[in-house]
Amino acid sequence: MEPFSVVLSALLLLSAFVLMASKRIHSYIGAFRVQAVLVALNTGLLGLTTVAATGRVDLLVVCAAILALKVWYIPRVLHRTYRAVEYRVEKDFLFNIPTLVLLSLSLVVVVFVAVSRIGAVQDGTTLVLLVDSLSTALVGLFFLISRKKAIGQIVGLLAIENGLFVTALYASNGMPFIVDIGVFIDLVSAVLILGVLVFRIESAFETTDTDAMSDLKG
Amino acid sequence: MKTILYWLLQVAAALLLAPLPIGAIRKVKALVQKRKGAPLLQLYRDLLKLLRKSAVVSDATSWVLRAAPFVVFATSLFAAAMMPATVRVLPDAFPGDLILFFFVLALGRFFLVLSGMDAGSSFGGMGSAREAMISALVEPAMLVGLFAVGLFAKTTSIPGVLSAMTALGFPLLQPSLLLVFLAFVLVLLAETSRIPVDDPATHLELTMVHEAMVLEDSGRHLALLEYGAALKQYALLALLADVFLPYDPFAAVPGVPGVLLALVAFAVKLLFLSLLVGAVEAATVKLRFFSVPNLAAIAFILSFLGVLQFLIPGR
């Protein structure tokens, strides 16, 4: 199982970079969906090992919840929101894509240096898993601050959550069931509220560019 | 004697198999578009036809235009012969080196770029400038990817790398090699003028890259250039097949039949990789030229992450 989870964590990090390099809102959502599939695979893999070892099935339930929420429901809500508010393609990022991608790469190096200073982590495999998942969260954070449109920022928030979820998964071999479910309920309500907020921003400013919100009115 | 036989086999396999992947890619594309498409072996016929025709050379050109087809063909053939067509390598034959492999190909590209500019036509110059830019963009990805492979094998000599990869069994299960494989697929697409970077079937000179550089060549010279391009693609596909899919199902069969079976397995791997390229080609559109740096940046980070994934566990 271990080689597969290392490969999956590398692919998860890669999906964060794909997200960072995509230009259109639809490709953000597609990349997020791929990332969610990878998170579900990670959870399912760990779930299968825990079922075999201890008979706990809660990780498999969490995996099913991820498939239902993050792979199916949330992307659908985002697509619907996007269709309703956006009718033209606009530039949505601060720097050009090669710069963004290279800056994200430096984040991975920073995480590597920081995590390898933690004396408690001795095992090479754990180190790789931690570096990959923490970098996924940080690249998600950078994605969030590098996009100007509200939908891109929602996707960034979700990407951070993906990274943190997988970090917790690797660090603790599965959090208590109630915590996972609580996080999911928070996530769904956050996406729904943010979706409504996008409509409000759109109707107030006639754009979903959040920079417009810092201009004084009057 | 054995060494001579080995090299004869290498050169013959390269010359015979080189036009096959292009035919396969075109066929996949045609089938996806619900066309019948040209026969699989069309490129062989085209090359034979062109080889029988004499070349027309403008008297406004220099020796570069006449020399370039031969240099391109020779360098591509050399690189292609360096990559074992069977996974079995003869240890005491000329070993070859991955860095040499890429820079021999770069020498051919240098002459191709010069010959594009030699006739002084504006299309040729444009194609050359674009080719030079693309190669400069993908070179970091390629070199860093090579370092990752070299770190794994602790050598860059081709037999050393191949034996290290064969010892791994399925190299693609290693995260660093998986990322480098993806980077090399992107490099392959850019280096062989396939679709996200260049459209090999275009009829519009303004969008051509490779085609624009060979506009001035005809007859035998064109045949050599096209054959050279096919050999270069074969060499890069063989690199992917040998380094990342080194599995040899007939490793137990000894002697000549074993070598022949390994050759068949290799051809199957080539066709599989061509299908992959054909699928990419059918699924994507040509990038706007100024979006090519984005693709190159992704290829670079793939390679770099590959190196990091190797270094992180602290081997």
Q: How confident is the model at residue A30 (pLDDT cuts 50, 70, 90)?
A: very high
The whole-number pLDDT of residue B182 equals 94
Q: Among A7, A17, A97, select the one facing B178 at the smallest CB separation.
A: A7
Q: Does A213 touch chain B (CB under 8 A)?
A: no
User: What is the reported pLDDT for B270?
Assistant: 93
Three state DSSP letters for chain A: CHHHHHHHHHHHHHHHHHHHHCCCHHHHHHHHHHHHHHHHHHHHHHHHHHHHHHCCCHHHHHHHHHHHHHHHHHHHHHHHHHHHHCCCCCCCECCCHHHHHHHHHHHHHHHHHHHHCCCCCCCHHHHHHHHHHHHHHHHHHHHHHHECEHHHHHHHHHHHHHHHHHHHHHHHCCCCHHHHHHHHHHHHHHHHHHHHHHHHHHHHHCCCEHHHHHCCCC
pLDDT at A37: 96
- Under the banding of pLDDT at 50, 70 and 90, the label for residue B244 is very high
Average pLDDT (A37-46) is 93
Q: Element (H or E) spanning B285, and its range? A: none
d(CA B189, CA B197): 7
The pLDDT, as a whole number, for residue A195 is 85
Per-residue tokens: B202: 């275009």
**What separation in angstroms does the CA of B237 have from each of A18, A141, B296?**
24, 38, 19
pLDDT digits (tens, 9 = 90+) for A133-166: 999 999 999 999 998 888 888 999 999 999 999 9
Q: Write out residues 34-93 of A within 8 Å (CB-CB) of B.
A: none
Cα–Cα dist A217/A12, whole Å: 42
For residue range B35-69, list pLDDT tens digits in order: 998 899 999 999 999 999 999 998 889 999 999 99
Using the predicted structure, report yes or no on whether residue A78 has a pLDDT greater than 70: yes
Tokens of A193: 């509220």
Q: Mean pLDDT, to the nearest integer, of A16-20?
A: 93
Query: For residue B108, which of B24, B210, B19 has the smallest C-alpha distance?
Result: B210
Q: CB B301 to CB A102 under 8 A? A: yes
pLDDT at B124 over 70: yes
Structure tokens at B82: 């360096």
Minimum Cα–Cα distance from A97: chain B residue:
B294
CB contact under 8 A, A128 and B175: yes
Percent of chain A with pLDDT over 90: 43
Q: pLDDT tens digits for B128-139?
A: 999 999 999 999
What's the gap in Å between the CA of A116 and the closest CA on chain B? Answer: 8
Question: Looking at residue B111, what is its pLDDT?
Answer: 96
pLDDT band at A217 (very low <50, low <70, confident <90, very high): low
Per-residue pLDDT at A67 exceeds 80: yes
For residue B97, what are the β-bridge partners? B157
Residue in chain A closest to B304 (alpha carbons) equals A105
Q: For all residues of chain B together, what is the average pLDDT?
A: 90
Q: How many Å from the N-terminal Cα to the C-terminal Cα in chain B?
A: 41
| Closest residue to A108, CB basis, from B293, B296, B305 | B305
Q: Which of B175, B174, B94, B106 is nearest to B136 (CA)?
A: B106
Q: Å from B108 to nearest chain A CA?
A: 28
User: What pLDDT band is residue A96 in, cutting at 50, 70 and 90?
Assistant: confident
Inter-chain touch B297–A98, beta carbons under 8 Å: yes
A110 token code pair: 């920073």
Confidence (pLDDT) at A144 = 92
Residues A16, B289 contacting (CB under 8 angstroms):
no
The pLDDT score that the predictor gives to residue B19 is: 93
CB atoms within 10 A of CB B180: 32
Per-residue model confidence (pLDDT) at position B298: 93
Q: Are A15 and A34 in contact (CB under 8 A)?
A: yes
Q: Which of A7, A17, A112 lies closest to B308 in CB terms?
A: A112
pLDDT at residue A119, rounded to an integer: 75
d(CA B197, CA B195): 5
Domain ranges, residue B124:
2-311
Average pLDDT over residues B17-23: 93
Quote the tokens at residue B251. Answer: 């490793």
CB contact under 8 A, B314 and A6: no
The structure's pTM equals 0.91
Mean pLDDT, residues B254-263: 84
Of the candidates A155, A138, A148, the one whose C-alpha atom is nearest the C-alpha of residue A194 is A155
**Considering CB atoms only, which of B179, B300, B314 is closest to A10?**
B179
Closest CB from A6, A105, A112 relative to B301: A105
B297–A101: do the CB atoms touch at under 8 Å? yes
Residue A136's pLDDT is what?
A: 96
Tell me, what amino acid is at A154?
Answer: I
Mean pLDDT along residues A187-208: 84
Instruction: Say if A105 is an interface residue toward chain B (CB within 8 Å).
Output: yes
Q: Which of B175, B300, B305 sits opposite A7 (nearest CB)?
A: B175
Interface residue A104 vs chain B (CB under 8 A): yes
Q: Among B293, B297, B312, whose Cβ lies nearest the Cβ of A112? A: B312
Judge whether residue A44 has pLDDT over 70.
yes
The alpha-carbon gap from B193 to the nearest alpha carbon of chain A, in Å, equals 21
The total domain count for chain B is 1
- B90 pLDDT more than 70: no
pLDDT at A89 (0 to 100): 56
Query: So what's the pLDDT on residue B85?
Result: 84
- Predicted pLDDT of residue B23: 93
Higher-pLDDT residue of B253, B182? B182
Q: Which residue numbers of B have CB closer than 8 Å to A's CBs?
A: 173-176, 178-179, 182, 293-294, 296-298, 300-302, 304-305, 308-309, 311-315
pLDDT of residue A101: 93
In the predicted structure, residue A54 carries a pLDDT above the cut 60:
yes
Q: Number of residue pairs across A and B with CB atoms under 8 Å?
A: 71
Residues of A with Cβ-Cβ distance to B304 under 8 angstroms? 105
Average pLDDT over all residues of chain A: 87
If residue B79 lies in a helix (H) or strand (E), which one and from where to where? helix B63-82
Q: Which residues on B lie below 8 Å from A109 (Cβ)?
A: 308
Handedness of CA A16, A20, A22, A27 (dihedral sign): positive
The yes-or-no verdict on residue B294 having pLDDT over 80 is yes
DSSP calls for B198-237: --TT---GGG-SHHHHTTT--HHHHHHHHHHHHHHHHHHH
Q: What average pLDDT does the segment A119-140 reach?
A: 88
> B-chain residues within 8 Å CB-CB of A14?
179, 182, 302, 305
Report the pLDDT value the prediction gives residue B248, as an integer from 0 to 100. Answer: 79
Name the pLDDT band for B30 (thresholds 50, 70, 90). Answer: very high
- Alpha-carbon dihedral sign for residues B206, B209, B213, B217: negative
Report residue B14's pLDDT band, with 50, 70 and 90 as the boundaries. Answer: very high
Rounded to an integer, the average pLDDT of B292-298 is 91
Closest C-alpha among B83, B79, B141 to residue B109: B79
* Segment 118-147 of chain A within 8 Å of chain B by CB: 124-125, 127-128, 131-132
Shortest Cα distance, chain B CAs vs residue A127, angstroms: 6
Distance from CA of B183 to the nearest CA of A (A): 11
ipTM for the predicted complex: 0.87
The reported pLDDT for the residue numbered A51 is: 87
Say what percent of chain B tops pLDDT 70: 97
